[in-house]
Amino acid sequence: MVQEKKLVDEVSGWLRIYDDGSVDRTWTGPPEVSFMIKPVAPHEEFIDGVATRDVTISTTTNDNFIHRARLYLPEKTAKDNEKLPILLHFQGGGFCISEPDWFMYYEVYTRFVKSTRSICVSPFLRRAPEHRLPIAIEDGFATLRWLQSVAKGDAHDPWLEKHGDFDKVFLIGDSSGGNLVHEVSARASSAELRPVRLAGAIPIHPGYARSERSQSENEMPQSPFLTLDMLDKFLSLSLPIGSNKDHPITCPMGEVAPPLSSFKLPPFLLCIAEKDLLRDTQMEYYEAMKKANNEVDLFVNKEMTHSFYLNKIAVERDPTVSAEMKALIDRVKDFIEKH
């Protein structure tokens, strides 16, 4: 007789963990939005001005994990430079869910590369709870090292070799991916990356928090992309065992984190949403970066909540949300062109 496994924890709609250690990420929320988390197959032909392909990344790590990444390439126009900036993107999902080939990311980053005239490289990061932090950071940094290998000719990718400008590489990530932007930037500050130049870093709505609830956590509206339950459970499942939200990965401006002044960081563009639950801790990070004399710009989407731009339905139906998404992309484009 096969013993039925028992549910031991869950994040409503997103994730279930069983007593045998298995994890089920089948969407169990409203079926009308399930299309947003379905994978989009790669297509090397241009569709609506963008081609995509998946690549295997050869790294020097000693594990058996096969590192992969999704590439987005905009169709060249007469106005484009010969070489395009490279965006190294880390997806959100509380370190526990989401993939770079999900429809919601496909929608956002096809639009990003068309608007910013850049190539996007988005690695498939290992996820918690099977792979707790700092594994995702290691995967992110390994992808940066892979870009260096391609730039040096030690590894090969036809799109990057033909179209990529390795002198203009930017890290970009949303929600927990924003945390990875900081962490990979910090690691890169003591690494020799030539001929790659890390030109800038763009954390969007990073998942910064403290053990004690902030005022914005208590007062701002919860949204489909971030509730207090999601925040608490995802971080408890992803941070190193025995850690809390004051860990440097989720609180890089905190008392136990290395001083922000100890890193030689690239210019940062911190993007936040006015009604994000995490607004207060994101602003605390911004002030700490300035105090440490790191170059950091701030962009705020008015009246928006956490990761609002991933909600395709709202972007298409609500003119205010659509306008704020355009404003976010335009600000990122300005930052890339400046650096």
User: Is residue 334 classed as helix, strand or coil in its secondary structure?
Assistant: helix
Tokens of 152: 């040096």
Q: Which of 175, 185, 214, 238 is catalytic?
A: 175
Tokens of 259: 């001083």
339 is a catalytic site residue: no
Q: Give dist(CA 12, CA 317) in Å, integer.
A: 26
9 is a catalytic site residue: no
Amino acid at 151: A
Q: What residues form DSSP beta bridges with 9?
A: 17
Q: Give dist(CA 232, CA 9) in Å, integer.
A: 12
Amino acid at 291: K
Q: Give dist(CA 123, CA 139) in Å, integer.
A: 8
Q: Which of 157, 165, 174, 276 is catalytic?
A: 276
Closest CA to 147 of 135, 134, 159, 131: 159
Q: Give dist(CA 278, CA 271) in Å, integer.
A: 12
Q: Which of 67, 89, 131, 306 is catalytic?
A: 306
Element (H, E) at 166: strand 164-174
Tokens of 190: 């003591």
Q: How many C-beta atoms lie closer than 10 Å to residue 1's C-beta? A: 3
**147 contact partners, CB below 8 Å, separation of at least 6:** 86, 88, 121, 160, 166, 169, 196
User: Across the chain, how many H-helices and E-strands are there?
Assistant: 9, 11
Q: Give dist(CA 83, CA 159) in Å, integer.
A: 10
34 is a catalytic site residue: no
Q: In the block, which residue shows the tokens 């700092």? A: 134
Closest CA to 99 of 66, 71, 127, 135: 127
Which are the catalytic amino acids?
175, 276, 306
